[in-house]
Chain A
Amino acid sequence: MRAWPVKRKPIPPGRVALYAALILLAFLFLFPFFLTVRNGLMADRDIIGDQFILFPLPPHWEYLPQTLFDSRDVNILLGLRNSAVVAALQTFFGVLFASMAGYALARVPFRGKSLVLGFILATMLVPGIVLFIPKFVLVAKLGWVNTLQGIVVPEMFSAFNAFMFRQYYLDFPRDMEEAGRVDGLSWTGVYRQLALPNSKGILTALGVLTFISSWNSFLWPLTVGQNEKLWTVQVAVSAYNNTNASYHEIFMSSVIAVVPLVVVFLLFQRWIIEGVKFTGSKG
């Protein structure tokens, strides 16, 4: 940043308009969050009433424990737990496998490397919907319908992440690697002891992005995890639509499904931004 000569200037009108536009946009983007919380804390007759109420006073705080613990035969706590387990497993294994493959594709000398890379990239071109039915069939053949691994395993091989790791490891310093080789490390040793510990940034970044998409996925867990013991939180929220749920229950359950990710967002903001940046510049 340059040091400007200190001089009190009136704020130019352009600035004001800029901030006004940004504040308006931020309001528009955040309003649906506010609306969800508001409806979640409001009695149904007030939600549908003719008189518009900005925020219920006093709020019906009791709706939160009601929805969490005792609501419409939907166990949303279990849904949260399942989502956490599914997203954690998919993130851990997904990122691990992708980084292993990415490193090998970038660095380990092997003659057919470009063929393997081509194969991995080609799978990215297959639209998900083509696979939807046969993938379900395959999972059924394996006996994995209604199992945790049926939800987790088929979705944890990301060609995209592998490609991203490859792009990252292409820029990885060779000197460090060669020092490791001289010290007698094998290629997997170099990966495990040098490459992996030095890529915490991208691991976190792609990990958080994977976690988010895993937490938010719907059609696959709905199709494979049929037994309610395996419902993820998204399935649980959608299940309210099948019952005579009241509006505040639907909105409160939405709040419950969204809050964990908002927390993840705020905690890992820096890494998400890094990850998205990397995706954009390397993709």
Chain B
Amino acid sequence: MRRSTCFMLTALLGSSTLFAVAQNNLTLTHWWHVYGADGQKDAVYRYDAEYAKANNLKIEVSWIPGDYTSKLRAALAAGTAPDIFEYPAGTLEDFADGQLANLDDLFTPALKRDFSPTALQQMTRNGRIQAVKMHSDVAVVFYRKSLLKAAGLQPPKTFAELLAASKKLTQGNRKGLFVGNNGVGPLDQIMPWSAGVTFMQGNKITYNTPRTVKALQSLRELKNSGSLLVGAPADWYEINPFLQGQVAMQLCGAWAIGRAREALGDDFGIVPWPALDAQGKPATWDGGFVMMVNAKSKNLAAAKAYIKKVWLDSTAVPVDWNTKYEFHVPPRKSVATAANFDPSGPEAAAANVLNRYARQNPAAFAGSVADAYYNMVGKAVNGTGDIAALVKAAAAQSQQELARP
């Protein structure tokens, strides 16, 4: 008992020496969220291990399941964040001033031009570069060529065509289309975009328009058509329902191209999510992940050196990361060139969709401002209430949240 009391006392006094890891000269900590493709985890550990070995330091990788962004933000607030971490692109607004290290000095004008304009925008906060984009992800509609052909259909070019195709392709246990288990998935943004809606401009919330109402109305119509797969054990970001023949078309990330090819050979194609009507345009997002450095890192220089060496100076790791495990659109021209895609294949098509139709909301459309909107979409699509009233109320709440200090 005495020994246990002793343990408690040391433990309570916060002495972590009891369990502390023996340190050699320098250890960088590096966080990743859990990626799902075969070999991806090994790749991550390999990149860091090779760099560590070559530069005589240690990198401790954490491979984090569950709610990654919440954990990272809690760790930043608590001062236990790692030196280097990744984060979903386009959400730099989540961070407070002084949390992210400035990386401007790693960039030459030529290097900046190498990144796509959207990527560069996603890397910049308050005029400073604070992130490095690792890869771009794009949402596209996968379709089974053979099934469309058998039904005498062309790949859909408008929402009306998509709806008709979805209905026609619904047969027995197979549904026409899968966009996510709630009937919404990533369409909460993409659908209004395809109607030409802009969510906010300057300091004004601008989504309270008849176009948003029509977009959500159409989603409700799609949901009620009975041709949409809902309640699948996997969600839209997994291609399984499409591969297993539960649907003929699925909205999914282009990251699934590799698995689709493996399972279906040539019997699939991709198109962008189509325009709502003649007034709209096809739409998708430019997603993906960025790598950042903790401004409060004790090893700031070493962390920045890692970013520069591994993710900027050479194209070896970026090419490997973007092409070898699951497909991502490289956000850099030099990486895309080095990756050397078949111009007639789905990879090139996905890159084309990204470059032509990707939209993005302003950085301030985040947190509670955006939540007011997202909270409403599920109700609008799956409920029976008046969509115009719902949109109006949500927009008022967004505007109010935006006005908060």
Q: A and B bound? A: yes
A265 on the B face (CB < 8 A): no
- Option from A93, A137, A142 in Cβ contact (under 8 Å) with B14: A142
Query: How close is B264's CB to chain A, nearest CB, in angstroms?
Result: 15
Q: Which residues of chain A come closer than 8 Å to B65, judged between CB atoms?
A: 222, 228, 231, 235, 238-239, 242
Nearest neighbor of B234 in chain A, beta-carbon distance: A244
Q: Which residues of chain B come closer than 8 Å to A238, judged between CB atoms?
A: 65-66
Nearest neighbor of B72 in chain A, beta-carbon distance: A226
Q: Tell whether, in the assembled complex, residue A145 and residue B75 are in contact, meaning their CB atoms are under 8 Å apart.
A: yes
Q: Which residues of chain A come closer than 8 Å to B233, judged between CB atoms?
A: 247
Q: Which residues of chain B come closer than 8 Å to A179, judged between CB atoms?
A: none
Name which of B34-42, B139-147, B154-162 contacts chain A.
B34-42
Number of B interface residues, CB 8 Å? Answer: 38
B389 on the A face (CB < 8 A): no
Task: List residues 79-117 of chain A with CB under 8 A from any CB of chain B.
Answer: 93, 96, 100
A48 on the B face (CB < 8 A): yes
B279 on the A face (CB < 8 A): no
Q: Which residues of chain B come closer than 8 Å to A187, judged between CB atoms?
A: none
Nearest neighbor of A219 in chain B, beta-carbon distance: B66
Measured CA separation A226–B64 after assembly (Å): 6
Q: Mark B213-242, 1 if CB is under 8 A from A, else 0.
A: 000000000000000000001000010100
Task: List residues 1-55 of chain B with CB under 8 A from any CB of chain A.
Answer: 1, 4, 8, 11-12, 14, 16, 18-19, 31, 33-37, 40-42
- Option from A48, A73, A96, A239 in Cβ contact (under 8 Å) with B1: A96
Q: Which residues of chain A come closer than 8 Å to B173, judged between CB atoms?
A: 50
Known: A140-B75, A223-B71. A243 touches B36 (CB 8 A): yes
A160 on the B face (CB < 8 A): no
Q: Tell whether, in the assembled complex, residue B62 and residue A227 are in contact, meaning their CB atoms are under 8 Å apart.
A: yes
Query: How close is A227's CB to chain B, nearest CB, in angstroms?
Result: 5
Q: Tell whether, in the assembled complex, residue B19 and residue A148 are in contact, meaning their CB atoms are under 8 Å apart.
A: yes
Known: A48-B244, A149-B18, A153-B11. A235 touches B66 (CB 8 A): yes
Nearest neighbor of A142 in chain B, beta-carbon distance: B14
Q: Tell whether, in the assembled complex, residue A143 and residue B36 are in contact, meaning their CB atoms are under 8 Å apart.
A: no
Q: Tell whether, in the assembled complex, residue B34 and residue A242 are in contact, meaning their CB atoms are under 8 Å apart.
A: yes
- Option from A45, A96, A144, A192 in Cβ contact (under 8 Å) with B16: A144
Nearest neighbor of A218 in chain B, beta-carbon distance: B66
Q: Tell whether, in the assembled complex, residue B37 and residue A244 are in contact, meaning their CB atoms are under 8 Å apart.
A: yes
Measured CA separation A242–B65 after assembly (Å): 7
Q: Which residues of chain B come closer than 8 Å to A144, judged between CB atoms?
A: 14, 16
Q: Which residues of chain B come closer than 8 Å to A244, judged between CB atoms?
A: 36-37, 238, 240, 259
Query: How close is B56's CB to chain A, nearest CB, in angstroms?
Result: 23
Q: Tell whether, in the assembled complex, residue B66 and residue A222 are in contact, meaning their CB atoms are under 8 Å apart.
A: yes
A278 on the B face (CB < 8 A): no
Q: Which residues of chain B come closer than 8 Å to A50, judged between CB atoms?
A: 173
B301 on the A face (CB < 8 A): no
Nearest neighbor of B34 in chain A, beta-carbon distance: A242
B74 on the A face (CB < 8 A): yes
Query: How close is A185's CB to chain B, nearest CB, in angstroms?
Result: 15
A254 on the B face (CB < 8 A): no
Q: Which residues of chain B come closer than 8 Å to A226, judged between CB atoms?
A: 31, 62, 64, 71
Known: A235-B65, A244-B259, A247-B233. A73 touches B41 (CB 8 A): yes
Query: How close is B337's CB to chain A, nearest CB, in angstroms?
Result: 29
Q: Which residues of chain A come closer than 8 Å to B62, judged between CB atoms?
A: 146, 226-228
Nearest neighbor of A138 in chain B, beta-carbon distance: B78
Measured CA separation A213–B79 after assembly (Å): 30
Measured CA separation A44–B31 after assembly (Å): 32
A136 on the B face (CB < 8 A): yes
A141 on the B face (CB < 8 A): yes
Known: A143-B14, A222-B66. A137 touches B19 (CB 8 A): no
Nearest neighbor of A250 in chain B, beta-carbon distance: B233
Query: How close is A257's CB to chain B, nearest CB, in angstroms?
Result: 15
Nearest neighbor of A136 in chain B, beta-carbon distance: B74
Measured CA separation A96–B1 after assembly (Å): 9
B80 on the A face (CB < 8 A): yes
Q: Tell whether, in the assembled complex, residue B80 and residue A145 are in contact, meaning their CB atoms are under 8 Å apart.
A: yes
Query: How close is A164's CB to chain B, nearest CB, in angstroms?
Result: 20
Measured CA separation A222–B67 after assembly (Å): 9
9 cross-chain CB contacts under 8 A: A141-B14, A145-B75, A147-B19, A149-B11, A153-B11, A239-B34, A242-B33, A245-B36, A247-B233
Beyond A73-B41, A93-B8: 15 further Cβ-contacts under 8 Å? A73-B34, A93-B4, A136-B74, A137-B78, A140-B80, A141-B78, A149-B11, A149-B19, A153-B11, A226-B62, A226-B71, A228-B65, A238-B66, A244-B240, A247-B233
